[in-house]
Amino acid sequence: MQIGAIYDGERCRFTVWAPERSQVELELVSPEAKRLPLQPHERGYWQTEVKGLAADSQYFYHIDGGDGRPDPASRFQPEGVHGPSQVVDHSQYDWQDEGWQGIPLQDYIVYELHIGAFTPEGSFDAVIPRLGDLLDLGITAVEIMPVAQFPGERNWGYDGVLPFAVQNSYGGPAGLKRLVDACHQAGLAVIMDVVYNHFGPEGNYTGLYGPYVTDKYQTPWGSAINFDDAYSTGVRNYVIQNVLCWFQDYHIDALRLDAIHAIYDFGAKHLLLELSDAVQAFAETRQSPAYLIAESDLNDARIIRSPKKGGYGIDAQWSDDFHHAMHTLLTGERTGYYADFGSCEALALAIKERFVYAWKYSSFRQRYHGSDAGDLPSNQFVVCVQNHDQVGNRMMGDRLTHLVSFEALKLAAGALLLSPYIPMLFMGEEYGEESPFLYFVDHGDPDLIAAVRQGRKEEFKDFHATGEPPDAASEKTLKQSTLQWDKRGQGQQGTLYAFYQRLIELRKQLAIATPSRPEDIEVDFDEASQTVQYLRQLPQGQLLCLMNFGKSAAKITFTTNLSWQKQIDSAAPEWDGPGSEAPETLSQTAVSISPRSVVLYATVKT
């Protein structure tokens, strides 16, 4: 059952799910005012059809004689979350991406950005002139933080309340289409971040229509969405239709499913499996693939295993363990969930085995955690050294730039981009952006703003943060978080940018994205010298990656009867390094590498 206002050029069919309601009325508020009753259909759906309606008509629904409210499946909210919904004729946009065939998931090099903070203008259209710079860097996929309609003009996007409606302050549906179209014409895939674990608190009128949420389960953000309780069929259809909307109406290439560990479903067919089935069926109707990528802290391989092996069939998932292992080695932080990490062994495990915690005891959780994912290929895992959560959920929005040295930034970049997994960069990371990325909202309810401020304080308890977080409700907080893009070519920021470029170039030249399994990688580590090394088999030859997280030079020994050629060395003068300890060619079984550095060798072909 398609929901929302579906316009075909001649007529508009209005369909809304409102079980256990006795009356649903459509109020057209522009271009002419009129009210029409909807007729009940099976399983709680109500429907009516209007001929000769203008494509940009605005409307409300009245439930059981109540006040006019937006359509839960509204495609556009020109006046925000409390205003009328607007009909959108998706056929009016003239797409120019007919030749787009997508790119394989293994070739994704992801760049996560926030529309409001990526440019001073904070719009979809303002991103387009910068796509050339992302291509120059070597990026292949742009990941957009959530743009489903949220209250006000600024928000991270995870407080969205109307999942089908594209944020009005960013440019609405037409602006998003122009951005996606431009990305595809430039050869860039687009990932959209979507949220199906909760609704935001302001402008959420779904409770007037039906049981969209359940008190059976609680998420960190309130009641969970109802995926397995009474009437959950209508809620599941709502989410499935939303997923297909992004792929069909906006030509999105992949969806990043936010915090799927907070999607509670104990039915015989999990929602994730139903989503996977629906997306696979849709993908057969177009020439480019459609992917689902799960953000999860469960370390549960079942999420991405095929349904034939008892899995949910999601294409890829995040491995937070990689980030945590890297971050603790670089910063020395051990508070909160970082208490489970901090060793070279942890990073070695993350590189080889996908997860550090694969049914292993977690002192932070005080229980066993995770499952073995060693049978799954590397291109089903997304890793990063920075992202919006890990930066923005620090009280002062500290990036790695604020926490570690220039040499450590290059080491982090090398560990990320030379890994066997799908790498994701957070906007500005590539040149060491100095602006923080802070949490910001634009709620209209003073009580809600007060609750946000208190919630931020509570969130930092595990990290023993002191002082006051920046005011999330202030426009200044967003401005502080906006990229200083013009600095990316200056001094060490320019050098770091060039270093990222070269790493991405090597990743492509050496086919590092080739899917691999743990048996293709040999890892070793030394806690005393703070070194990690791994040897990787590839069809084109072998790679030897050496990393020194210590503060002094370290000698690394290994077994080899091959000749190796150095590909990149972060300590080299060309990268503003202190000077390299590693030779250009390598045939011996020991090499000294500089502190806080990464060196990559490849076998010399004869």
Give the three-state DSSP class for 437: coil
438, exposed or middle or buried, with CB in 10 Å at 0-12, 13-18, 19+? buried
Strands (E), 1-77: 4-7, 11-17, 24-30, 34-37, 39-40, 45-51, 58-63, 68-69
**Average pLDDT for 516-540:** 95
- Rounded to an integer, what distance in angstroms lies between the CA atom of residue 457 and that of residue 436? 18
The reply, when asked if residue 258 is annotated as ligand binding, is yes
**Phi, psi dihedrals of residue 369, rounded to the nearest 5°:** -145, 140
Q: Angle at Cα 400 formed by Cα 320 and Cα 254, nearest 5°?
A: 45
Specify whether the CB–CB gap between 407 and 597 falls below 8 A: yes
**Is 322 known to sit in a ligand binding site?**
yes
Distances 141 to 107, 112, 183, 187 between C-alpha atoms, Å: 9, 9, 9, 9
Tens-digit pLDDT profile for residues 243-292: 999 999 999 999 999 999 999 999 999 999 999 999 999 999 999 999 99
| 398 annotated ligand binder | no
To the question of whether residue 355 is assigned a binding role by annotation, the answer is no
Q: Can you list the positions of beta strands (E) in 179-282?
A: 189-194, 213-219, 222-225, 254-257
User: Which tens digit of pLDDT belongs to each residue from 321-373?
Assistant: 999 999 999 999 999 899 999 999 999 999 999 999 999 999 999 999 999 99
Q: Which of 262, 176, 184 is CA-nearest to residue 227?
A: 262
Cα 323–Cα 325–Cα 329 angle in degrees, nearest 5: 115
Supply the pLDDT for residue 604: 64
Q: Which two tokens stand for residue 154?
A: 């600024």
| CA–CA gap between residue 132 and residue 44 (Å, rounded) | 48
Confidence of residue 402 (pLDDT cuts 50, 70, 90): very high
- Of the ranges 51-55, 418-422, 550-554, which one carries the lowest mean pLDDT score? 51-55
Element (H, E) at 291: strand 291-294
pLDDT for res 589: 78
Please give the pLDDT value at position 606.
41
Tokens of 14: 């209005």
321 marked as binding residue? yes
246 vs 148: CA distance, rounded Å: 11
pLDDT over 60 (residue 517): yes
Give Rg (Cα) of the chain.
Answer: 25
Binning pLDDT at 50, 70 and 90, where does residue 10 land? confident
Work out the average pLDDT over 492-519: 97
Torsion of CA 573, 575, 577, 579, to 10 degrees: -30
Measured CA to CA, the distance from residue 224 to residue 469 in angstroms comes to: 27
Strand-by-strand arrangement of the 521-526 sheet = 521-526, 531-538, 541-548, 597-603, 564-569, 585-586
Domains and CATH numbers, the chain: 4-89 (2.60.40.10), 515-603 (2.60.40.1180)
> Does 323 carry a binding-site annotation?
yes
φ, ψ for residue 200 (rounded to 5)?
-70, 165
Tell me if residue 239 falls in helix, strand or coil.
Answer: helix
Model pTM greater than 0.85? yes
Q: In this structure, are residues 87 and 12 in contact, taking their beta carbons and an 8 Å threshold?
A: yes
Place of tokens 């308890």: 461
- SS3 of 129, please? helix
Residue 313 falls in which region: left (phi positive, over 0), alpha (psi -120 to 50) or beta: left
What rounded mean pLDDT belongs to the chain? 95
Is 393 marked as binding a ligand? Answer: yes
* Residue 588, pLDDT score: 74
For residue 463, what are its two tokens?
A: 């990290």
Q: Which of 361, 421, 444, 411 is nearest to 550 (CA)?
A: 411
Each residue's pLDDT tens digit, 52-91: 999 999 999 999 999 999 999 999 999 999 999 999 999 9
C-alpha to C-alpha distance for 404 and 549, rounded to whole angstroms: 12
Q: Would you state the structure tokens that stand for residue 85, as one six-digit string? A: 């919904």
Q: How far apart are CA 346 and CA 525, in angstroms?
A: 10
Q: Is 56 flagged in the annotation as binding?
A: no
Give start and end residues of each alpha helix (H) in 284-368: 320-331, 344-353
Check the annotation: does 256 bind a ligand.
Answer: yes
Q: What percent of the chain has pLDDT over 70?
A: 98
User: So which residues are the catalytic ones?
Assistant: 258, 295
- How far apart CA 489 and CA 480 sit, in angstroms, is 20
Cα pseudo-dihedral 133, 435, 321, 348, rounded to 10: 70
Is the CB of residue 569 less than 8 Å from the CB of residue 592?
no
Contact 265, 194 (CB under 8 A): no
